[in-house]
Structure 1
Amino acid sequence: MAMVDAHPENGHPAAPGWFDISTPDAARARDFYRQLFGWQVNALNDTYAFVSGSDGAPAGGIGQAGPESPYTGIVPFFPVDDVTTALARAEELGGKRTMEPQHAGEGRIAAFTDPDGNTVGLMSP
Structure 2
Amino acid sequence: MPEMIRHAPGWPAWVDLLTPDLASSKAFYSELFGWHGYTLTTPSFGDYEIFTLGDAQGPEVAGMQELPDDTQASSWTCYFMTEDVRATLETIRDEGGQELIAPFWIADLGEMALCCDREGADFALWRPGNLRGAGVVDEPSSMCRVELACHDAEEARRFYGRVFGWNVAERQGPSRRTEWRLGEWPLGGLVSIDELRPHGLGDQAHWVPFFQVTDCDAAVARAARYGARPLLPATDASLGRYAVMADPVGAHLAVVAPPEP
Please report the TM-score for the alignment, with normalisation by the length of structure 2: 0.41
**Deviation for aligned residue 1:88:** 1.1
- Residue 99 of structure 1, aligned match among 232, 236, 239: 232
Which protein, 1 or 2, shows the higher relative CO under an 8 Å CA cutoff with sep ≥ 6?
Answer: 1
Secondary structure, in 3 states, of the residue corresponding to 1:68?
Answer: helix
Q: Counterpart of 2:210?
A: 77
- Residue 63 of structure 1, aligned match among 172, 191, 198: 191
Q: Counterpart of 1:48?
A: 177
Secondary structure, in 3 states, of the residue corresponding to 2:227?
Answer: coil
Q: Counterpart of 1:15?
A: 142
Q: Counterpart of 2:223?
A: 90
Contact 1:25 1:65 in 2 (8 A): no
1:74-106 Cα offsets, whole Å, 9 max, x none, are 111100111111111111111100011110116
**Structure 1 stretch displaced more, 26-35 or 64-73:** 64-73
Q: Counterpart of 2:95?
A: none
- Residue 116 of structure 1, aligned match among 225, 233, 249: 249
Q: Which runs of 5+ in 1 are unaligned?
A: none
User: Which amino acid is 1:65 matched to?
Assistant: I
User: Which amino acid is 1:64 matched to?
Assistant: S
1:10-48 Cα offsets, whole Å, 9 max, x none, are 817622111110111121111111111110122447x43
Secondary structure, in 3 states, of the residue corresponding to 2:147?
Answer: strand
User: Which amino acid is 1:52 matched to?
Assistant: R
Q: Counterpart of 2:113?
A: none
Contact 2:199 2:231 in 1 (8 A): no
- Cα gap change, 1:36 to 1:114, in 2 (>3 Å): same
Contact 1:51 1:61 in 2 (8 A): yes
User: Which amino acid is 1:87 matched to?
Assistant: V
Provide the aligned length of Structure 1 versus Structure 2: 119
**Deviation for aligned residue 1:69:** 5.4
Task: For 2:200 and 2:146, locate their aligned partners in 1 and report how far apart those are by CA, in whole Å.
Answer: 15
User: Which amino acid is 1:31 matched to?
Assistant: R
Contact 2:171 2:238 in 1 (8 A): no
Task: For 1:31 and 1:106, locate their aligned partners in 2 and report how far apart those are by CA, in whole Å.
Answer: 23
| Cα RMSD, aligned residues only | 2.4
Q: Which has the larger radius of gyration?
A: 2
Secondary structure, in 3 states, of the residue corresponding to 1:115?
Answer: coil
User: Which amino acid is 1:50 matched to?
Assistant: E
Q: Which runs of 5+ in 2 are unaligned?
A: 3-32, 37-52, 62-140
